[in-house]
Protein backbone atom coordinates (compact mmCIF):
# COMPACT_ATOMS: atom_id res chain seq x y z
CA UNK A 1 0.00 0.00 0.00
CA UNK A 2 1.20 3.53 -0.82
CA UNK A 3 -0.28 6.55 0.93
CA UNK A 4 -0.06 10.01 -0.59
CA UNK A 5 -1.23 13.11 1.28
CA UNK A 6 -2.28 16.31 -0.49
CA UNK A 7 -4.57 19.30 0.04
CA UNK A 8 -7.79 20.33 -1.65
CA UNK A 9 -8.30 23.91 -2.83
CA UNK A 10 -9.93 24.95 0.45
CA UNK A 11 -7.16 23.44 2.59
CA UNK A 12 -8.80 20.15 3.56
CA UNK A 13 -6.56 17.09 3.69
CA UNK A 14 -6.98 14.33 1.08
CA UNK A 15 -5.18 10.99 1.09
CA UNK A 16 -4.80 8.46 -1.69
CA UNK A 17 -4.37 4.80 -0.72
CA UNK A 18 -3.01 2.94 -3.74
CA UNK A 19 -2.27 -0.74 -4.17
CA UNK A 20 0.69 0.11 -6.45
CA UNK A 21 3.80 1.29 -4.62
CA UNK A 22 5.23 2.96 -7.74
CA UNK A 23 2.23 5.19 -8.45
CA UNK A 24 3.02 8.92 -8.32
CA UNK A 25 0.21 11.28 -7.26
CA UNK A 26 0.82 14.90 -8.26
CA UNK A 27 -2.73 16.08 -9.05
CA UNK A 28 -3.84 19.47 -7.75
CA UNK A 29 -7.36 20.74 -7.07
CA UNK A 30 -8.09 23.62 -9.49
CA UNK A 31 -11.53 24.51 -8.09
CA UNK A 32 -12.08 28.06 -6.76
CA UNK A 33 -13.31 26.95 -3.35
CA UNK A 34 -13.92 29.24 -0.40
CA UNK A 35 -12.43 28.18 2.94
CA UNK A 36 -14.58 25.73 4.88
CA UNK A 37 -16.77 27.42 7.47
CA UNK A 38 -18.28 25.22 10.18
CA UNK A 39 -20.52 25.89 13.16
CA UNK A 40 -20.15 22.62 15.02
CA UNK A 41 -20.50 22.53 18.80
CA UNK A 42 -20.99 19.82 21.41
CA UNK A 43 -23.78 20.21 23.96
CA UNK A 44 -24.43 17.97 26.96
CA UNK A 45 -27.89 16.69 27.82
CA UNK A 46 -28.21 17.42 31.57
CA UNK A 47 -30.71 14.58 32.12
CA UNK A 48 -29.04 11.78 30.15
CA UNK A 49 -25.46 13.00 30.39
CA UNK A 50 -24.78 12.28 26.71
CA UNK A 51 -23.46 14.58 24.01
CA UNK A 52 -25.28 16.12 21.05
CA UNK A 53 -23.42 17.66 18.11
CA UNK A 54 -25.14 20.78 16.77
CA UNK A 55 -23.97 21.43 13.19
CA UNK A 56 -26.28 23.84 11.37
CA UNK A 57 -23.94 24.25 8.40
CA UNK A 58 -24.76 20.69 7.30
CA UNK A 59 -28.14 21.87 6.02
CA UNK A 60 -26.29 23.02 2.87
CA UNK A 61 -24.57 19.69 2.13
CA UNK A 62 -24.89 18.00 -1.25
CA UNK A 63 -28.19 16.14 -1.56
CA UNK A 64 -28.85 13.37 -4.11
CA UNK A 65 -26.93 14.87 -7.05
CA UNK A 66 -27.25 13.32 -10.54
CA UNK A 67 -24.72 10.54 -11.21
CA UNK A 68 -22.78 12.77 -13.62
CA UNK A 69 -22.36 15.37 -10.86
CA UNK A 70 -21.26 13.00 -8.10
CA UNK A 71 -18.62 14.70 -5.92
CA UNK A 72 -17.03 11.35 -5.04
CA UNK A 73 -16.28 10.23 -8.59
CA UNK A 74 -12.85 11.00 -10.08
CA UNK A 75 -12.29 14.29 -11.88
CA UNK A 76 -12.38 13.49 -15.58
CA UNK A 77 -13.84 14.65 -18.91
CA UNK A 78 -13.79 18.27 -17.78
CA UNK A 79 -15.87 17.66 -14.64
CA UNK A 80 -14.21 18.49 -11.32
CA UNK A 81 -15.04 16.65 -8.09
CA UNK A 82 -13.71 16.28 -4.56
CA UNK A 83 -11.04 13.90 -5.92
CA UNK A 84 -8.64 15.67 -8.34
CA UNK A 85 -7.32 12.41 -9.84
CA UNK A 86 -8.77 10.80 -12.96
CA UNK A 87 -8.87 7.45 -11.15
CA UNK A 88 -8.16 6.06 -7.69
CA UNK A 89 -8.21 2.93 -5.53
CA UNK A 90 -9.24 4.26 -2.09
CA UNK A 91 -9.45 7.93 -1.09
CA UNK A 92 -9.98 9.56 2.30
CA UNK A 93 -10.61 13.28 2.73
CA UNK A 94 -11.91 15.72 5.31
CA UNK A 95 -15.65 16.20 5.01
CA UNK A 96 -16.63 19.62 3.66
CA UNK A 97 -19.79 19.50 5.81
CA UNK A 98 -18.54 17.85 9.01
CA UNK A 99 -20.66 17.02 12.03
CA UNK A 100 -17.52 17.43 14.16
CA UNK A 101 -14.70 19.89 13.49
CA UNK A 102 -11.81 21.64 15.21
CA UNK A 103 -11.81 21.12 18.98
CA UNK A 104 -15.09 19.19 18.54
CA UNK A 105 -13.41 16.38 16.62
CA UNK A 106 -12.99 15.41 12.97
CA UNK A 107 -15.06 13.87 10.18
CA UNK A 108 -13.65 12.15 7.09
CA UNK A 109 -15.14 10.55 3.98
CA UNK A 110 -13.81 7.21 2.70
CA UNK A 111 -14.37 6.39 -0.98
CA UNK A 112 -14.09 2.61 -1.37
CA UNK A 113 -13.72 2.61 -5.17
CA UNK A 114 -13.83 4.99 -8.13
CA UNK A 115 -16.70 2.93 -9.64
CA UNK A 116 -19.87 4.92 -8.99
CA UNK A 117 -22.19 1.98 -9.69
CA UNK A 118 -20.44 -0.55 -7.45
CA UNK A 119 -21.04 -1.40 -3.80
CA UNK A 120 -18.68 -2.66 -1.13
CA UNK A 121 -19.90 -6.19 -1.85
CA UNK A 122 -18.70 -5.80 -5.45
CA UNK A 123 -15.09 -5.18 -4.40
CA UNK A 124 -12.40 -7.78 -4.93
CA UNK A 125 -10.63 -9.20 -1.89
CA UNK A 126 -7.60 -7.07 -2.76
CA UNK A 127 -9.74 -3.91 -2.84
CA UNK A 128 -11.46 -4.76 0.45
CA UNK A 129 -8.06 -5.41 2.05
CA UNK A 130 -6.94 -1.93 0.96
CA UNK A 131 -10.03 -0.38 2.59
CA UNK A 132 -9.18 -2.23 5.81
CA UNK A 133 -5.64 -0.83 5.67
CA UNK A 134 -7.05 2.67 5.16
CA UNK A 135 -9.39 2.25 8.15
CA UNK A 136 -6.50 1.07 10.34
CA UNK A 137 -4.21 3.86 9.15
CA UNK A 138 -6.79 6.56 9.79
CA UNK A 139 -7.50 5.08 13.22
CA UNK A 140 -3.79 5.35 14.04
CA UNK A 141 -3.53 8.92 12.71
CA UNK A 142 -6.67 10.23 14.40
CA UNK A 143 -5.67 8.61 17.68
CA UNK A 144 -2.76 11.07 17.77
CA UNK A 145 -5.03 14.13 17.67
CA UNK A 146 -5.40 15.50 21.21
CA UNK A 147 -9.07 16.39 20.69
CA UNK A 148 -10.04 12.86 19.61
CA UNK A 149 -10.98 10.26 22.22
CA UNK A 150 -12.60 7.61 20.03
CA UNK A 151 -12.51 6.71 16.31
CA UNK A 152 -15.60 5.35 14.57
CA UNK A 153 -15.36 3.90 11.04
CA UNK A 154 -18.73 3.16 9.45
CA UNK A 155 -20.74 2.81 6.26
CA UNK A 156 -24.33 3.88 5.67
CA UNK A 157 -25.74 2.12 2.60
CA UNK A 158 -29.09 2.81 0.96
CA UNK A 159 -31.58 5.65 0.63
CA UNK A 160 -33.68 4.08 3.41
CA UNK A 161 -30.79 4.69 5.79
CA UNK A 162 -30.65 8.34 4.73
CA UNK A 163 -27.68 8.20 2.36
CA UNK A 164 -27.56 11.31 0.14
CA UNK A 165 -24.66 10.26 -2.12
CA UNK A 166 -25.01 7.00 -4.05
CA UNK A 167 -21.27 6.49 -4.63
CA UNK A 168 -19.89 3.61 -2.48
CA UNK A 169 -18.36 5.34 0.50
CA UNK A 170 -18.20 5.40 4.27
CA UNK A 171 -17.19 7.84 6.95
CA UNK A 172 -14.82 8.13 9.90
CA UNK A 173 -15.69 10.19 12.97
CA UNK A 174 -13.12 11.24 15.53
CA UNK A 175 -15.22 11.96 18.62
CA UNK A 176 -13.97 14.29 21.39
CA UNK A 177 -15.65 12.03 23.96
CA UNK A 178 -16.44 8.37 24.58
CA UNK A 179 -19.73 7.64 22.83
CA UNK A 180 -22.75 6.60 24.94
CA UNK A 181 -22.96 3.16 23.31
CA UNK A 182 -19.30 2.46 24.06
CA UNK A 183 -19.73 3.72 27.61
CA UNK A 184 -22.51 1.17 28.11
CA UNK A 185 -20.27 -1.60 26.80
CA UNK A 186 -17.46 -0.53 29.13
CA UNK A 187 -19.88 -0.51 32.07
CA UNK A 188 -21.04 -4.04 31.22
CA UNK A 189 -17.40 -5.09 30.79
CA UNK A 190 -16.50 -3.88 34.29
CA UNK A 191 -19.60 -5.41 35.86
CA UNK A 192 -18.95 -8.77 34.20
CA UNK A 193 -15.33 -8.76 35.37
CA UNK A 194 -16.44 -8.06 38.94
CA UNK A 195 -19.22 -10.65 38.84
CA UNK A 196 -17.09 -13.46 37.34
CA UNK A 197 -13.86 -12.97 39.20
CA UNK A 198 -11.94 -11.36 36.37
CA UNK A 199 -13.33 -12.92 33.19
CA UNK A 200 -13.57 -10.84 30.01
CA UNK A 201 -17.08 -10.14 28.70
CA UNK A 202 -16.14 -10.05 25.00
CA UNK A 203 -14.26 -13.35 25.29
CA UNK A 204 -17.18 -14.98 27.06
CA UNK A 205 -19.74 -13.74 24.49
CA UNK A 206 -17.71 -15.11 21.58
CA UNK A 207 -17.07 -18.38 23.43
CA UNK A 208 -20.78 -18.80 24.19
CA UNK A 209 -21.82 -18.17 20.59
CA UNK A 210 -19.25 -20.62 19.24
CA UNK A 211 -20.29 -23.28 21.77
CA UNK A 212 -24.02 -22.78 21.10
CA UNK A 213 -23.73 -22.52 17.34
CA UNK A 214 -27.40 -21.67 16.62
CA UNK A 215 -26.65 -18.06 15.85
CA UNK A 216 -23.27 -18.47 14.13
CA UNK A 217 -23.51 -17.30 10.53
CA UNK A 218 -19.94 -17.63 9.31
CA UNK A 219 -16.68 -18.79 10.86
CA UNK A 220 -13.09 -18.66 9.67
CA UNK A 221 -9.74 -19.30 11.28
CA UNK A 222 -9.45 -15.74 12.58
CA UNK A 223 -13.02 -14.34 12.56
CA UNK A 224 -16.49 -15.39 13.64
CA UNK A 225 -19.79 -13.76 12.64
CA UNK A 226 -22.99 -14.36 14.60
CA UNK A 227 -26.42 -12.90 15.23
CA UNK A 228 -26.32 -11.64 18.84
CA UNK A 229 -28.53 -13.34 21.42
CA UNK A 230 -30.50 -10.12 22.03
CA UNK A 231 -30.33 -8.61 18.54
CA UNK A 232 -31.91 -5.17 18.30
CA UNK A 233 -32.45 -5.21 14.52
CA UNK A 234 -34.34 -7.69 12.29
CA UNK A 235 -31.11 -8.88 10.66
CA UNK A 236 -28.01 -8.03 12.67
CA UNK A 237 -24.58 -9.68 12.63
CA UNK A 238 -21.59 -9.05 14.87
CA UNK A 239 -18.17 -9.85 13.44
CA UNK A 240 -15.39 -10.48 15.98
CA UNK A 241 -11.74 -11.41 15.57
CA UNK A 242 -11.13 -14.60 17.53
CA UNK A 243 -8.07 -13.01 19.10
CA UNK A 244 -9.42 -10.07 21.05
CA UNK A 245 -7.82 -6.70 20.23
CA UNK A 246 -8.91 -3.17 21.23
CA UNK A 247 -8.85 -1.56 17.78
CA UNK A 248 -8.09 -2.00 14.08
CA UNK A 249 -4.43 -1.12 14.53
CA UNK A 250 -3.88 -4.24 16.62
CA UNK A 251 -5.15 -6.84 14.11
CA UNK A 252 -2.47 -9.36 13.22
CA UNK A 253 -1.53 -10.42 9.69
CA UNK A 254 -3.76 -13.49 9.76
CA UNK A 255 -6.87 -11.51 10.71
CA UNK A 256 -6.11 -8.82 8.12
CA UNK A 257 -5.66 -11.40 5.38
CA UNK A 258 -8.86 -13.31 6.16
CA UNK A 259 -11.09 -10.28 6.77
CA UNK A 260 -11.96 -9.55 3.09
CA UNK A 261 -13.15 -13.12 2.52
CA UNK A 262 -15.40 -13.12 5.56
CA UNK A 263 -16.75 -9.59 5.23
CA UNK A 264 -17.49 -9.69 1.50
CA UNK A 265 -19.40 -12.94 1.98
CA UNK A 266 -21.46 -11.36 4.77
CA UNK A 267 -22.37 -8.35 2.62
CA UNK A 268 -23.32 -10.57 -0.31
CA UNK A 269 -25.55 -12.65 1.94
CA UNK A 270 -27.24 -9.48 3.18
CA UNK A 271 -28.19 -8.65 -0.39
CA UNK A 272 -29.80 -12.09 -0.77
CA UNK A 273 -31.86 -12.13 2.45
CA UNK A 274 -35.11 -10.98 0.87
CA UNK A 275 -34.84 -12.67 -2.52
CA UNK A 276 -33.55 -11.82 -6.00
CA UNK A 277 -36.35 -9.38 -6.87
CA UNK A 278 -35.78 -7.14 -3.84
CA UNK A 279 -33.59 -4.01 -4.22
CA UNK A 280 -30.18 -4.00 -2.51
CA UNK A 281 -30.48 -4.34 1.25
CA UNK A 282 -29.96 -1.06 3.14
CA UNK A 283 -27.52 -1.45 6.00
CA UNK A 284 -25.22 0.18 8.51
CA UNK A 285 -21.77 -1.33 9.09
CA UNK A 286 -20.14 0.01 12.26
CA UNK A 287 -16.69 -0.67 13.73
CA UNK A 288 -16.59 -0.52 17.53
CA UNK A 289 -13.14 0.39 18.84
CA UNK A 290 -11.82 1.18 22.31
CA UNK A 291 -11.41 4.87 23.26
CA UNK A 292 -7.84 6.19 23.25
CA UNK A 293 -8.00 8.70 26.08
CA UNK A 294 -10.37 10.03 28.70
CA UNK A 295 -12.32 7.99 31.25
CA UNK A 296 -13.35 5.47 28.58
CA UNK A 297 -9.73 4.49 27.97
CA UNK A 298 -9.30 2.91 31.43
CA UNK A 299 -10.33 -0.54 30.18
CA UNK A 300 -9.21 -0.14 26.55
CA UNK A 301 -7.02 -3.27 26.56
CA UNK A 302 -10.02 -5.26 27.79
CA UNK A 303 -12.28 -3.96 25.03
CA UNK A 304 -13.08 -6.18 22.07
CA UNK A 305 -12.92 -4.70 18.58
CA UNK A 306 -15.87 -5.84 16.50
CA UNK A 307 -18.04 -4.81 13.57
CA UNK A 308 -21.82 -4.61 13.82
CA UNK A 309 -23.72 -5.02 10.54
CA UNK A 310 -27.49 -4.56 10.47
CA UNK A 311 -30.40 -3.64 8.24
CA UNK A 312 -33.57 -1.69 8.97
CA UNK A 313 -35.53 -3.84 6.49
CA UNK A 314 -37.55 -6.41 8.46
CA UNK A 315 -39.18 -8.23 5.55
CA UNK A 316 -39.75 -7.72 1.85
CA UNK A 317 -40.92 -4.14 1.25
CA UNK A 318 -41.19 -3.27 4.95
CA UNK A 319 -38.85 -1.31 7.19
CA UNK A 320 -38.23 -1.43 10.91
CA UNK A 321 -39.13 2.00 12.27
CA UNK A 322 -37.82 3.30 15.58
CA UNK A 323 -41.19 4.33 16.95
CA UNK A 324 -42.45 5.00 20.48
CA UNK A 325 -40.68 2.31 22.49
CA UNK A 326 -37.38 2.49 20.61
CA UNK A 327 -37.14 6.26 20.14
CA UNK A 328 -38.90 7.28 23.32
CA UNK A 329 -37.48 4.77 25.80
CA UNK A 330 -34.57 3.05 23.97
CA UNK A 331 -36.31 -0.32 24.33
CA UNK A 332 -36.08 -2.25 21.07
CA UNK A 333 -38.76 -4.69 19.91
CA UNK A 334 -37.45 -7.14 17.33
CA UNK A 335 -39.85 -8.84 14.90
CA UNK A 336 -37.34 -11.50 13.79
CA UNK A 337 -36.01 -14.09 16.30
CA UNK A 338 -32.18 -14.03 16.21
CA UNK A 339 -32.04 -17.79 15.57
CA UNK A 340 -34.34 -17.40 12.54
CA UNK A 341 -32.23 -14.53 11.22
CA UNK A 342 -29.06 -16.64 11.57
CA UNK A 343 -30.69 -19.57 9.78
CA UNK A 344 -31.72 -17.32 6.89
CA UNK A 345 -28.20 -15.89 6.59
CA UNK A 346 -26.80 -19.42 6.44
CA UNK A 347 -29.34 -20.39 3.77
CA UNK A 348 -28.22 -17.63 1.41
CA UNK A 349 -24.51 -18.54 1.53
CA UNK A 350 -22.57 -18.28 -1.71
CA UNK A 351 -22.40 -21.56 -3.57
Known catalytic residues are 169
C-alpha to C-alpha distance for 283 and 213, rounded to whole angstroms? 24
Pairwise CA distance, residues 249 & 142, whole Å: 12
Contact between 56 and 39 (Cβ < 8 Å): yes
Integer Cα distance of 246 and 198 in angstroms: 17
Amino acid sequence: MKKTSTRLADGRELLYYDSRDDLVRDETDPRPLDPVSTASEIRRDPLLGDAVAVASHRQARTYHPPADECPLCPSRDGRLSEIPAADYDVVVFENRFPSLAGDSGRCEVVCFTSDHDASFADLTEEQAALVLEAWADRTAELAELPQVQQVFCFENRGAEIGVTLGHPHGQIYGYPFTTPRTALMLRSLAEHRERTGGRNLFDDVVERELADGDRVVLEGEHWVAFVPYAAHWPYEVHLHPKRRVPDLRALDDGARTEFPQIYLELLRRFDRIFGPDEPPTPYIAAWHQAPFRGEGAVDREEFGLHLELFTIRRTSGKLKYLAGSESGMSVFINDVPPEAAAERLREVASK
